[in-house]
Chains A and B, each alone.
Chain A
Amino acid sequence: MLRLADGFVFGLLLLFGLGCQSPANRDAADSVLRLWKASHGETAQDFEHVLAPFFSQRPALRLEAVVHPWQGWDERYATAYTGGMPPDIAYMPDEFWPRFAAAGKLAALDEMFPEEVEAMSREYPDNLWQLGSMDGHQYGIPFVYVSWHLYYNPELFDRAGLAYPPATPDAADFDAWTWDRFREVGLALSQDHDGDGVLDQWGLAWSTLDVNPNAIYPFLWQGGADLLDASRKRNGFAERGAVGFRFMRELARDGIVPEGGLHPGPFELFYDGRAGMMIAPESAIHILKRDFPDLPFGAGIVPRGPAIDFYEGRGAFGNSGFWVLSKDSPRPREAFDLLRFITSPDPSAYMMDVVQLFGARKDWQAPTDDPRLETFIRGQRYLVPYPLHPRLRLVHTIIQAEVQGMLLDRKTPEQAVAAAASAVDALVALR
């Protein structure tokens, strides 16, 4: 007779066995299409709403939308794709998806759906479309792009008797808006109001401690350096990187940026009205209006560095995000249809309205409700795309640590550039 304890063990093993059932079989049974996206402010309900027409035409299918924080992105996706439970479609920025494509985890859309992908390619600007392809295959369909330029506090500028940064390339003082002028403005804005000998207002709310390198790279690009060279087999900053590194050190030493470029939360200073400028994406307009309604702010183009041969010396941060299809999706046809639906004009426009980012489609209409958006739209020409490489995110880690080491005076700019270049070369050679 089976005893209670024996029965318990049997039950446990049965449960364990059920848990080991293949995910593909389980999904096939209930016909779920799984969508994952790191949040830009939207929720799973937004996707359920915008995708409702798609699923109403396919009653046998069900949506499982997971909108999650950016933190922990790597482990979430790496384990899902390795463990055989990837989302059918996922949103991945241009610095994320090449790693998964190189590892054979993403579907080459042009191979699976050649005619439809060819037709889709005509719906996007070439530069954005190209950022979804690697090694001759299209892995990603563009969805959004971000444009990082300057925000400034007009009250602080007025108090210091300074002209505002130019809002568009048409502005009269646009050509004069150079690194030298930027530094002068930054110095004038960095002030000690209470006279205790310690600065309590800064020119630029900027730090290298942010997880993202978005604040570091513009100065590299404006100095003429890039992350990788054209072959993408070695670094692209060994020769000209020191210019940008030196400029960042000047900003820190002059007190233009708080805590020598090592402030753990610099944007807070701008929000508090204690920093004259910050570099941030277009979505910050919406966030500032919503969360800091009393804060006056304007938008301007980033300054021009010495590298006029590279994005006119005004290289600004702007990456793009793509929808990708898992190679292991049990329903590739339906998943691709879902991908096509979400990138089609109306759903795409709806989601852009929710996240307040720029849509990648040619037919996307930029909002006109705030004149400051003009800076980010007109400033698109200066956005430097990331070089597509499976290990690009590790390049960030290397450069960021070397810039921090330089700001701590552990290395000269030249030494920091050389160390970063050597580490990046070793890293990309691993491919």
Chain B
Amino acid sequence: MTTAPKPQRHSGPGHSAEGSDRSAYAFLAPYLVLYCVFMLAPVLWAFGLSLQTGGLLEGTSYIGLANYSEVWSNPFFNNALRNTALYAIIAVPAAMGLSLATALLVHPLARWWKSFIRVSLFLPLISSAVALAIIWRALLLPGQTGPLNWILGNFGLPPQNWLGHPDWVIPAIAAFQVWSGYGFWVIVLLAGLDAVPTQLYEAARVDGAGRWQLFTRITMPMLRPTLLFLSVMGVIWNLQLFDAVFMLTQGGPANASVSVVYYIYRGAFHFDQLGHSATMSVLLFLLVMGLTLLQMRYGRRDEDA
């Protein structure tokens, strides 16, 4: 019996093993430098700032953990936290359901149709966020003249003040979030569907499986990693919601649409409470990380099962 030769590192002329390692680190270095300067350092700095009081202009001074004990009793932070949770609860399942339905409809289409739809759906992602917000503000105008209200009026539904009423402002912004991220979700799901081996469907059909069984027994299990990735990303994006609130409502009416990140921004730049905002940033970071780990754990457990 012969044994397969052990794989060996390639070592051509002038290429020692240590030299290759050093080169690898050298090639990694630009990324690591940028990562440390623009990602890691600001995060560590934010931790440091959370232990201080003061603002950008006034300067800061050390106060220990006082910000952490204060932030939980701050009704505005709790309000922002509640709003942010609502955005995520509405937007993530809605985006997931809509994009999955779209991907399932588009996937069987001819290749050029699929490409056309992919491009069309991706356009909002590469469009200016300000332009999108202007369009949405116009679409969501209150009264009967607002385009969305006009459409609803044709179905006998009363007009709503989408961006001016606290009951509607969160669903309206969540809808904007769903719409603006929808193209990305569909494209990722289409890629996931493309990766499902067609032999599985053919074998199942031979065994007499119907459409519903194909979907529940093959498509969904095979898409689970994609769906897990999208749900994790969706929760992260929605917990970090800022631009839609900034551009559509500035947190109004009566703080009904303030998200955590918008509140952090306002605290730092308008209220000049940098330490306080850094504390909320740290808490948000821990929340996002905790939720992500939880999602990953449960998602992977289901996969293993």
Q: Is A310 positioned at the interface, with any CB of B under 8 Å from its CB?
A: no
Bound Cα distance from A79 to B161, whole angstroms: 36
Q: How far is the CB of A87 from chain B (nearest CB, A)?
A: 15
Q: Return the chain A residue nearest B160 by Cβ.
A: A259
Residue pair B164, A401 in contact (C-beta under 8 Å)? no
Q: Is B100 positioned at the interface, with any CB of A under 8 Å from its CB?
A: no
6 closest residue pairs by CB, A with B = A5-B26, A262-B164, A103-B57, A404-B254, A405-B254, A74-B269
Bound Cα distance from A332 to B217, whole angstroms: 74
For window 1-19 of chain A, which residues contact chain B by CB distance below 8 Å?
A: 3, 5-6, 8-9, 12-13, 16
Residue pair B33, A16 in contact (C-beta under 8 Å)? yes
Residue pair B37, A262 in contact (C-beta under 8 Å)? no
A-side contacts of B56, CB under 8 Å: 78-79, 82
Q: Report 24 cross-chain contacts, Cβ distance below 8 Å, ordered by A residue.
A: A8-B30, A9-B30, A9-B33, A78-B57, A78-B269, A79-B56, A82-B57, A99-B57, A99-B272, A103-B57, A105-B57, A200-B144, A207-B164, A209-B163, A209-B253, A258-B143, A259-B142, A263-B164, A265-B141, A394-B271, A404-B252, A405-B254, A408-B166, A408-B254
Residue pair A264, B141 in contact (C-beta under 8 Å)? yes
Bound Cα distance from A13 to B32, whole angstroms: 12
Q: Is B82 positioned at the interface, with any CB of A under 8 Å from its CB?
A: no
B-side contacts of A397, CB under 8 Å: 266, 270-271
Q: Is A350 positioned at the interface, with any CB of B under 8 Å from its CB?
A: no
Residue pair A263, B142 in contact (C-beta under 8 Å)? yes
Bound Cα distance from A71 to B197, whole angstroms: 51
Bound Cα distance from A100 to B140, whole angstroms: 38
Residue pair B27, A408 in contact (C-beta under 8 Å)? no
Q: Return the chain A residue nearest B273 by Cβ.
A: A430
Q: Is A75 positioned at the interface, with any CB of B under 8 Å from its CB?
A: yes
Given A5-B27, A394-B271, does the pair A100, B137 have CB atoms closer than 8 Å? Answer: no
For window 267-299 of chain B, which residues contact chain A by CB distance below 8 Å?
A: 269-272
Q: How far is the CB of B18 from chain A (nearest CB, A)?
A: 13
Residues 103-143 of chain B: 1 if any A CB is under 8 Å from the residue's CB, otherwise 0? 00000000000000000000000000000000001001111
Residues 153-192 of chain A: 1 if any B CB is under 8 Å from the residue's CB, otherwise 0? 0000000000000000000000000000000000000000
Bound Cα distance from A262 to B249, whole angstroms: 11
Residue pair B142, A6 in contact (C-beta under 8 Å)? no
Most chain B CB atoms below 10 A, which of A82, A259, A402, A405: A259
Q: Is B224 positioned at the interface, with any CB of A under 8 Å from its CB?
A: no
Q: Which of A12, A74, A103, A400 contacts B270 (CB 8 A)?
A: A74
Given A103-B58, A211-B250, does the pair A264, B137 have CB atoms closer than 8 Å? Answer: yes
Residue pair B161, A259 in contact (C-beta under 8 Å)? yes
Given A6-B26, A8-B30, A16-B37, does the pair A265, B253 have CB atoms closer than 8 Å? Answer: no
For window 48-80 of chain A, which residues contact chain B by CB distance below 8 Å?
A: 74-75, 78-79
Bound Cα distance from A300 to B233, whole angstroms: 54
For window 58-80 of chain B, which residues contact chain A by CB distance below 8 Å?
A: 58
Residues 247-269 of chain A: 1 if any B CB is under 8 Å from the residue's CB, otherwise 0? 00000000000111011110010
For window 15-54 of chain B, which residues contact chain A by CB distance below 8 Å?
A: 23, 26-27, 29-30, 33, 37
A-side contacts of B269, CB under 8 Å: 74-75, 78
Residues 200-226 of chain A: 1 if any B CB is under 8 Å from the residue's CB, otherwise 0? 100000011101000000000000000
Bound Cα distance from A6 to B25, whole angstroms: 10
Given A3-B23, A78-B269, A259-B164, does the pair A12, B144 have CB atoms closer than 8 Å? Answer: no
B-side contacts of A99, CB under 8 Å: 57, 272
Q: Is B102 positioned at the interface, with any CB of A under 8 Å from its CB?
A: no
Q: How far is the CB of B61 from chain A (nearest CB, A)?
A: 14
Bound Cα distance from A407 to B252, whole angstroms: 12
Q: Return the chain B residue nearest A6 by Cβ.
A: B26
Residue pair A264, B26 in contact (C-beta under 8 Å)? no
**A-B contacts besides A99-B272, A262-B164, A394-B271, 7 pairs, CB < 8 Å:** A75-B265, A260-B161, A265-B137, A268-B141, A407-B253, A408-B166, A408-B253
